[in-house]
Structure formats: structure tokens, C-alpha cells
Amino acid sequence: APVLAKVVKVKSEKIEVQFKRPVCIFEKSNVALSRKIEDRWRLIGAGIVG
């Protein structure tokens, strides 16, 4: 399910995010990062939870 979050730290190929509400994410799960650009959501990245 989509959850709003804010990127707090970027280091090399890793990022740290702060979620707007509590979430449960399993290690090695796939995640997608989207950003609203010109009133449309665009996929800006994807990765694996470490």
C-alpha cells in the first residue's frame, strides 16, 4: 500500500526515509519510490530494503 515518506539522508547508494505513519516492512522486500511531478505520480527509483 502507498505510504507517504520523506527522505532524511542520502549516502552513496543508500537512503534513509521517515514515514508519515507507522509501517511494517520486511527485510529484502522490493520498494518503489514515486514523486508527484506536474500533477502526475512518476516512478523515480526502486530498491530493496536492507
pLDDT tens track for 21-34:
999 999 999 999 99
Q: What is the pTM of this model?
A: 0.69
Confidence grade of residue 1 (pLDDT, cut at 50, 70, 90): confident
Reported as a single tens digit per residue, the pLDDT across 2-25 is: 899 999 999 988 999 999 999 999
Buried b (16+ CB within 10 A) or exposed e, 16-47: eeeeeeeeeeeeeeeeeeeeeeeeeeeeeeee
The reported pLDDT for the residue numbered 2 is: 86
